[in-house]
Amino acid sequence: MAVVATPRALQRLDSVMRPRTSPLRSLWRRVVRRRSFVFAGMVATLLTALLLTLMQDDRYRAESAIVLQSSPIDELLDPDATDTDAASATARHVNNEIGVIEGVTVRSLVLVSLGLDDAPRAQASGDPDSDVIVVRVEAETAQLAARLANAYVNAYINVRSTDNQQLAGTAVSQLQGVIDGLDVQIADLDRQIAAAEPTEADALAGDRAALADDVAEYTDRLRRLQLEAELGLPPAQVIESAVAPDAPFAPNRLAVLLAALAAGLALGLAA
């Protein structure tokens, strides 16, 4: 018995047997067919993008890194702080110092030290789990960016060193006042002990011993604070000085031109 193929069956068989065209090949054929539009679109977008990037000034970025040095002043002023307090204080300390670096005082000192009327501001960032702070400055030239980054770091160290000296001097005066007050109380107890009965004198002697222990503790803290003030240890150490970058970070002309090529291709195919 003969089988007769209908036209619809032959059409289905032809579609099944015909090799499928890949999407990339289809796109390429479309590009070839519309090559004049694609070429015009790519040229137009490329020229526009190139003109826009040439109108923009180059921007350079330089970085300098510092590590904060632990100061015994805070510990001496608050000896009862726990390890948990110290751990949570690290993040606060880093954030506080970032505020100082980006603040008006440091920037004013930078302008004076470099003899400038105006300058880009510094941007600082730090890891909350460490004491490292990175200072970044963006400028129109590579040399200026590096000079400013290093100047901001040096200005911060100078400002913080002055602050620490003043804080240590204030703390010394306060501790000396506390010690003098305790000495007055001890002298008063000595007079009371000399005039008291033996039983009462023993109780007063215990109070005097407690005050004497306080005096010894505060005297030790005073001695250490005076040593800290005399040494004048820097609040931070530079671990990486800024150097002039080799190339600008903005504008990214390569990325702009590639995006312009893609946009030109899309315009040409849609035309």
pLDDT digits (tens, 9 = 90+) for 225-268: 888 777 777 889 999 999 999 988 776 666 766 776 777 667 76
Instruction: Please state the rounded mean pLDDT for residues 5-29.
Output: 59
| DSSP of 57-98 | PPBEEEEEEEEEPP-HHHHHH-TT--HHHHHHHHHHHHHHHH
Q: What pLDDT is recorded for position 105?
A: 95
CA 36 from centroid of its chain's CA atoms: 51
**For the chain, what percent of residues have pLDDT higher than 90?**
38
Structure tokens at 112: 């004076």
Query: Mean pLDDT over all residues of the chain?
Result: 81
pTM of structure: 0.67
- pLDDT-derived band at 58, boundaries 50, 70, 90: confident
Alpha-carbon distance of 146 to 124, in angstroms, equals 14
pLDDT at 53: 64
Encode pLDDT of 163-188 as tens digits. 888 888 888 888 899 999 999 999 99
- What is the structure's pLDDT at 221? 86
- Work out the number of other CB atoms within 10 angstroms of the CB of residue 76: 19
Query: Quick one: which of 135, 132, 133 has its CA closest to 121?
Result: 135
Mean pLDDT of 153-167: 91
| Residue 227: both structure tokens together | 């040593």
pLDDT given for residue 85 in this prediction: 57
Per-residue confidence at 103, pLDDT binned at 50, 70, 90? very high
Whether the CB-CB separation of 221 and 175 falls below 8 Å is answered with yes
Q: Check residue 152 and give its pLDDT.
A: 97
Return d(Cα 156, Cα 97) in angstroms, integer: 9
How are beta strands 132-139 and 123-126 bridged, if at all? antiparallel
Packing angle of the helix pair 253-270, 23-33 (nearest 10 deg) = 80
Residue 243 CB-density burial (10 A; 0-12 exposed, 13-18 middle, 19+ buried) = middle
Q: What are phi and psi of 71, to 5 degrees?
A: -105, 135
What pLDDT is recorded for position 104? 95
pLDDT for residue 14 is more than 90:
no
